[in-house]
Amino acid sequence: MSQPIYMDHNATTPVDPRVVEAMLPCMTEQFGNAASRTHAYGWAAAKLAELARERLAKGIGARPEEIIFTSGATESNNLAIKGAAWALGRAGSRVVTCATEHKAVLDPFQALARMGFAVTVLSVDEVGRLDPGRLAGALVDGSVLASVMLANNETGTLQPIREIAAACRERGVLLHCDATQAVGKIPVDVDALGVDLLSFSAHKIYGPKGVGALYVRRRTPRLHLVPLLDGGGHEQGLRSGTLNVPGVVGFGRALEIALQDMPRESVRLTQLRDRLDVAIRSRLEGVTLNGHPAERLPNTVNLAFSGVDGSALLVGLKEVAVASGSACTSADPKPSHVLLAMGRSKELANASIRFSLGRTNTLQDVETVADAVVREVTRLRQGSPLWGGRRA
């Protein structure tokens, strides 16, 4: 049985062979503990880790000392959100976020609410964008932190982070940005964006799973966080634990490759994405784009198919690997919280499919997937009470 065409790159990506090549020596030859400072094995491991740190810092316009290695974006988000809130606030302090954030942001905010913090979750418009003015109005006295993602994992919609950051700076509020879906796909520069904290991960950019990073601004004024973990004081005291040297080496190499390929790959993926969109919507009625038509990731298109049950459509698309939403909530039968926040009905949210393309996808893949989607949607709509007898 042949493998389905993979169009779920926002969930994860295969590890690039060049990344594997960079990681292998760290597992067999240069296997030392980077915290072992008394012998050559530890020195070699530390040198490799610092080279990876430099690569990541360069890739987002930061300094090496501003990069903290973690186990992934979820840990980075938790460290940024809880660490900043605990360092700067107390029960009653206000923290602000957006309704379309990933659960790895929303859940830490819920945890802060249980600790007595005042949590504000802001609404978005119909394309998933947050109005910077709404954010500014929510940053009342006593606010210590805001968290807004750069690119949405389900729709690809890009938030106006520069304007949001300006509003935060004007009010003396820290801004955390979950850039997990953006780094390596679009240019990301922490200074240009104006963010104080930024999370990203390796496995979204053809690196290994289980490794991520958090940018923590160290320039004046220096930013302090309360660590989540105690024990050893690694990573400048912010993330104790033996460093995953193979993982961080792979992470650094993966971002280096992604940045080298970005100018060409961004154009190619945008063309494939738009071709997939047109090939489906030009042949089917009742198909709605979820997300901003222009301000979105080059690889992502999320479509809602009226009159169709999304679960049945996913089952019918055996030759395609796609998703109905975030990989982290795919086991949850509830409609996407992102699409509901954008004003979609439960029925339309449940009838939505995310296509996220990647390096291995071709124009032939796009045509094959479009044909399969049109065929299955037409079949499911025939006689469906959800479609109401309209022509498919």
Q: Are 321 and 355 in contact (CB under 8 A)?
A: no
DSSP letters, 6-74, are E-BTTT--PPPHHHHHHHHHHHHTS---TT--SSHHHHHHHHHHHHHHHHHHHHHT--GGGEEEESSHH
Indicate if the alpha-carbon torsion angle 280, 330, 130, 226 is positive or negative.
negative
Q: Are 236 and 65 in contact (CB under 8 A)?
A: yes
Element (H, E) at 223: none
CA distance 30 to 145: 40
Q: Tell me the CA distances in angstroms from 263 to 6, 100, 117, 267, one per residue in order.
A: 22, 28, 43, 7
Active site residue 328: yes
Q: Tell me the CA distances in angstroms from 239 to 5, 229, 234, one per residue in order.
A: 38, 6, 6
147: β partners = 97, 176
Q: Look-up: residue for tokens 């922490």?
A: 190
Give the Cα-Cα-Cα angle 248, 252, 258 (nearest 5 degrees): 140
First to last CA, the chain: 31
- Side-chain-side CA neighbours of 141 within 13 Å: the count stands at 0
Q: Are 143 and 93 in contact (CB under 8 A)?
A: yes
Pair of tokens at residue 201? 């991960």
Q: Tell me the CA distances in angstroms from 313 to 4, 88, 156, 234, one per residue in order.
A: 15, 47, 21, 47
Question: Which residue in 98, 168, 177, 328 is the catalytic one?
Answer: 328
Pair of tokens at residue 26? 């760290």
Q: Are 92 and 142 in contact (CB under 8 A)?
A: yes
Q: Are 272 and 366 in contact (CB under 8 A)?
A: yes
Catalytic positions:
328
